[in-house]
Amino acid sequence: MTEPIINKPPEDWRKTACVLCSSNCGIEVKLDERAITRVRGNKAHVTSAGYTCEKALRIDHYQNNHSRLTSPMRRLDDGTYVEVDWDTAIAGVAEGLRSVTERYGDDRILYYGGGGQGNHLGGAHSTATQRAFGMKRRSNALAQEKTGEAYVEGLMFGTHTHGQIEEAQVAVFVGKNPWHSHGFDAARRVLKEIAADPDRQLIVIDPRRTETADLADYWLPVRPGTDAFLLAAIGAVLVDERLTSEKWLTDHVVGVEAATTALGKVPIVDFAKRCGITESQIREVARLLASATSVSMLEDLGIEMAPHSTLVSYLHRLVSVLTGNIGNPGGLTPHTSIAGLFNYSAAGNEPVDPVTGGRIISGLVSCNEIAEGILSDHPERTRAMFIESANPVHSLADSDTFRRAMRACECTVVIDVAMTETAEQANWVLPAASQYEKAEATFFASGFPDNHFHMRPGILEPLEGTLAEPEIHARLVRASGTLDAAEEAGVLDDLRAAAAGGIDAFTTTFTTAVQHHQELSSVGAVVLYETLGRTLPAGSEGAAATWFLAQMTAMQHPEAVRAAGHEGDGPALGNALWQAIIDGEDGVVFTRHDYSEALDLLGTPDGHINLDLPEMLALLGALPEAPERYTSNDYPYVLSAGERRSFTANTIIRDPSWRKKDAQGALRLSSADAEALGVDDGGRVRITTPGGVAVAVAEINNTMQEGHVSLPNGHGLAYSPAGGDPEIYGVAPNELTTLDWCDPIVGTPWHKHVPARLEAVSP
Ligand SMILES: Nc1nc2c(c(=O)[nH]1)N[C@H]1C(S)=C(S)[C@@H](COP(=O)(O)OP(=O)(O)OC[C@H]3O[C@@H](n4cnc5c(=O)[nH]c(N)nc54)[C@H](O)[C@@H]3O)O[C@H]1N2
Ligand SMILES: Nc1nc2c(c(=O)[nH]1)N[C@H]1C(S)=C(S)[C@@H](COP(=O)(O)OP(=O)(O)OC[C@H]3O[C@@H](n4cnc5c(=O)[nH]c(N)nc54)[C@H](O)[C@@H]3O)O[C@H]1N2
Ligand code: SF4
Ligand SMILES: [Mo]
């Protein structure tokens, strides 16, 4: 790297990324002092190539707003906060965590979070703090959306797969609205390309006529919560009409007979009625999927947070496998990861939570069970929580119960940039530097045949009073005493000296050091930050941890790393990749494969895809007996609580003035429902659910089916405009949700399918 970005002259553009969704589009920005005044897509970016959506252009509302924290804070008994200095805060947090372990034993502290849409380096450094303080319980937002998918993928593929939509002949979205939510690169551009190409088809399975559905060749408006019936029927047609890819299945798949036998019993006509899609349309779609050269199916919250969620995750993959769409160009492909979000190796042998009895998927406690466990009287319950870069009071089901659970803990710590709903309940609040004030990166990339990684240095100095997470974790690890012996033996000094001599010298010294001091590898990210990180340019220090990730990637996929243009063998190859990551301001290709190698990346023990999942097949067999509806006379509507819209981005931006439209976060409902309720457009509606009551502004919107209404996510945040008292804008969806309304297999909440009662509120 030539010069630190933070030292660039004011008139220069600075390269960074948008942090508002997992696409992390490369952007270039101009600054005026600390304000981000201009934003444009970075055309040279390896993944996004200049693409952005409207949200990136208003990113300054994330960087500069009145919610930013500027001092560590400690909660007093009366619930108010006092500012404390960093030394006091670090010592207090270390003492609070240590005393919980001393009193209750190991494994009583839960670590939650570790990264949002743009920042995973904090989480990478937190592993050091977790180990230093014996935090073994973990959870994060993935355990309220993607654990069902991960469970099924672990059993079927032993790894994650991703649809290569850009190349697919047929793209299918099941409960996903990529026009707004993205989830793959340059989503709107790619959707428009597919829509404009007569040889390619777009299929959207969604009760609402979304912006994506508007572009689709086939929009299948399922009745909410009935996707399992639709996908089972599509699978059944494949079997009934002998449309499966026999030869390919014989070569690559086991358990075909178990699955096709179960599908053979599906009552297609009855299931068509239940999901509200005609049999002829189901047959037409099944034939299209079977005849296409490639199909990419992607699921998202519309099925992950609705009835039969884990089963649906299985059923649509079953359809992809039966039609031979795994590992082919434009199909679903396994891929490399610079650091995997899930560990698939325990699939099928997941441990059970000793307190709640729930399955722990990939080491993650189910989000819906965290509060219940803490509030139980089980002797092994969690007694402390360490929450980083997450806002679970707002984002997890039943906000009130999560608040109570935090208060029931003996020590709670929050690291955040803002005074959030969660920070407001914590004993200690530690202010983080923003994602434009430090090195950051994410581990979301799931590209194939090429996979990308983008490490961005900070473009601004940390806001006064804040620290970047690597520094916070380094201080906590030091306070734990874990590094005392190595420090006294002069090992850290040796590592610093070696790092100053270059990455190869550092590699040799580090390898020897961890042999003598094993604790160095257990808190490895912090050791790297404290040594190698000190030699990196200002704003890049936290990138040292990626050295380890580069080494691991080079060890696991040496050929693919070399094919991506990085040279060397063994540790030298890892170092070449790392240097490219550090220098690559537009991101790098870190692995390059050929499609002929795609199925080599499967992680199942026998290298085959497995369709015989007895638990899922039993659920499929039991579908005819499933309830016809989950609504009742008391709660006759289905509320989707948390829709992605134009100006929503989870709770990353708190300042409501960033929204150009839908400032109030309206409840969308059909004109038929509005008329029946006597509600006008812009009028007010009371929403009552088994979890709570809220009042929202109504928006009559005929993309909604009758009986189905939706609220946006990310609203209902408290924000104080300059000098003003805090105000709450819109409805916080989880004031309306409950903990028990969730998937029976993995515990993911059914937020898209909350039974609700609506009443007009007189003006
Ligand atoms: N603009 C914006 N983009 C985002 C985010 C954001 O907050 N704002 N958040 C990011 C995150 S964290 C995530 S996980 C993704 C989520 O992205 P998506 O899952 O695409 O977003 P949602 O709008 O929550 O839900 C998708 C669709 O599910 C539909 N749906 C509701 N019920 C059902 C049903 O029973 N069956 C089916 N088939 N569909 C149903 C809804 O009508 C909606 O169109 O978005 C990411 N991108
Ligand atoms: N009812 C309902 N609930 C939902 C959903 C829904 O559809 N309906 N969607 C769910 C989904 S899919 C998800 S992913 C979750 C998301 O919910 P969470 O995982 O809680 O994540 P975010 O809302 O993205 O909050 C990220 C936090 O990180 C903070 N932050 C930003 N930058 C930094 C930084 O650099 N360092 C630190 N330490 N903190 C930072 C922000 O201030 C914010 O408090 O919400 C879930 N909740
Ligand atoms: S919100 Fe997502 S798609 Fe839009 S610019 Fe940001 S990263 Fe890209
Ligand atoms: Mo999410």
- What is the full DSSP assignment across 682-697? T-EEEEEETTEEEEEE
CA-nearest residue for atom 18, ligand 2, is: 390
pLDDT at position 2: 54
Residue ranges around ligand 3 (CB below 6 Å)? 18, 20-21, 23-25, 52-53, 55-56, 182
Q: Which ligand is nearest to the CA of 214?
A: 1
For the residues 588-602, what does the mean pLDDT come to?
Answer: 98
Atom 8 of ligand 3 has which residue's CA nearest to it? Answer: 25
**Residue 173 pLDDT exceeds 60:** yes
Q: How far is C-alpha 173 from the geometric centre of its chain's CA atoms?
A: 18
Q: Mind giving me the DSSP string for 223-252?
A: PTT-HHHHHHHHHHHHHHTT-S-HHHHHHH
Residues 6+ apart with CB under 8 A from 382: 108, 109, 110, 137, 355, 370, 373, 374, 409
> What is the β-pairing status of strands 201-205 and 692-700?
unpaired
pLDDT bracket for residue 7 (50, 70, 90): confident
For helices 614-622 and 256-264, give the axis angle rounded to 10 degrees: 0
From the CB of 395, is ligand 2 less than 6 Å away?
Answer: yes
User: In this structure, which ligand is nearest to the CA of 396?
Assistant: 2
Angle of CA points 15, 119, 736, to nearest 5°: 130
Q: Is 442 in the pocket of ligand 2 (CB under 6 A)?
A: no
What's the pLDDT score for residue 288? Answer: 98
Nearest atom in ligand 2 to 418's CA? 42
Residue matched to tokens 């094993």 = 518
Q: What is the pLDDT of residue 722?
A: 83
Closest C-alpha among 689, 690, 685 to residue 667: 685
Strand, helix or coil for residue 432: strand
For the domain covering 630-761, report its CATH number: 2.40.40.20
- pLDDT score recorded for residue 127: 98
Instruction: Check if the beta carbon of residue 445 is closer than 8 Å to that of residue 419.
Output: no
**Domain-by-domain residue ranges, the chain?**
13-63, 73-145+358-431, 161-334+607-621, 459-597, 630-761
Evaluate if residue 102 carries a pLDDT over 90.
yes
Of the residues 63, 182, 442, which should be mutated to test ligand 3's pocket, given the most ligand atoms within 8 Å of the CB?
Answer: 182
**In this structure, which amino acid lies at residue 223?**
R
| Share above pLDDT 90 across residues of the chain, in percent, rounded to a whole number | 97
The pTM assigned to this predicted structure is: 0.98
232 Cβ neighbours under 8 A, 6+ residues apart:
263, 266, 271, 315, 620, 623
State the closest ligand 2 atom to the C-alpha of 145, by its place in the atom list counted from 1: 12
Is the preceding omega at residue 449 within 30 degrees of 0, hence cis? yes
- Ligand 3 pocket test target in 25, 189, 454 with most atoms within 8 Å of CB: 25
Picking from 631, 625, 637, 543, the residue whose alpha carbon sits closest to that of residue 584 is 543
Residue whose CB lies within 8 A of the most ligand 3 atoms, among 40, 52, 652, for a mutation test: 52
Question: Which of these CATH numbers, 3.40.228.10, 3.40.630.30, 3.30.830.10, 2.30.40.10, describes 161-334+607-621?
Answer: 3.40.228.10
- Specify whether the CB–CB gap between 586 and 453 falls below 8 A: no
> Do the beta carbons of residue 378 and residue 104 sit within 8 Å?
no
- Mean pLDDT across the stretch 696-722? 96
pLDDT at residue number 81: 97
Phi, psi of 711 (to 5 degrees): -115, 145
How far is 309 from 303, CA to CA, in rounded Å? 5
Ligand 3 pocket mutation pick from 23, 188, 650 by most atoms within 8 angstroms of CB: 23
CATH number of 73-145+358-431: 3.40.50.740
Q: Which two tokens stand for residue 103?
A: 């009193």
Alpha helices in 450-489 (DSSP H): 469-480, 484-488
Q: Give me ligand 3 centre to Cα 48, in Å.
A: 9
- pLDDT over 80 at 3, yes or no: no
Tens-place pLDDT, residues 454-468: 999 999 999 999 999
Mean pLDDT confidence for 641-654: 97
pLDDT of residue 724: 84
Q: Does domain 13-63 have CATH number 3.90.1720.10?
A: no
| DSSP letter string, 288-331 | HHHHSS-EEEEE-HHHHTSTTHHHHHHHHHHHHHHTT-BSSTTS
Mean pLDDT of 691-707: 98
Handedness of CA 31, 35, 40, 45 (dihedral sign): positive
| Closest residue by CA, ligand 1 atom 33 | 302
Residue 643 tokens read as 């829709």
Atom of ligand 1 nearest to the CA of 223: 35
For the Cβ of 751 lying below 6 angstroms from any atom of ligand 2, the answer is yes
B/e letters for 307-332, b = 16+ CB within 10 Å, e = fewer, are bbbbbbbbbbbbbbbbbbbbbbebbb
- Do the beta carbons of residue 2 and residue 15 sit within 8 Å? no
The pair of three-digit structure tokens given for residue 511, joined into one six-digit string? 């390898």
Q: Which atom of ligand 2 is nearest to the CA of 422?
A: 44
Q: What is the pLDDT of residues 304-315, one digit of tens each?
A: 999 999 999 999
Output the CA–CA distances (angstroms, integers) from residue 237 to 207, 244, 290, 677, in the order listed. Answer: 22, 10, 10, 40
Helical axes 367-374 vs 399-408, angle rounded to 10°: 50
Average pLDDT over residues 694-722: 96
Around ligand 1, the residues with Cβ closer than 6 Å are 21, 145, 174-177, 180-183, 205-208, 210, 222, 224-225, 227, 300-303, 306, 640, 642-644, 648-650, 713-714, 752
Does 13-63 match 161-334+607-621 in CATH topology?
A: no
| pLDDT per residue as tens digits for the range 292-343 | 999 999 999 999 999 999 999 999 999 999 999 999 999 999 999 999 999 9
Distances (CA, A) of 679 to 637, 685, 708, 755: 15, 7, 15, 19
The per-residue pLDDT for 4 is 84
Name the pLDDT band for 412 (thresholds 50, 70, 90): very high
Distance from C-alpha of 554 to C-alpha of 165, rounded to nearest angstrom: 27
Per-position b or e across 66-103, b if 16+ CB within 10 A of its CB: ebbbebbbbbeeeeebeebebeebbebbbebbbebbee
Ligand nearest to the CA of 50: 3
Round the average pLDDT of the chain to a whole number and report it. 97
pLDDT reported for residue 763: 78
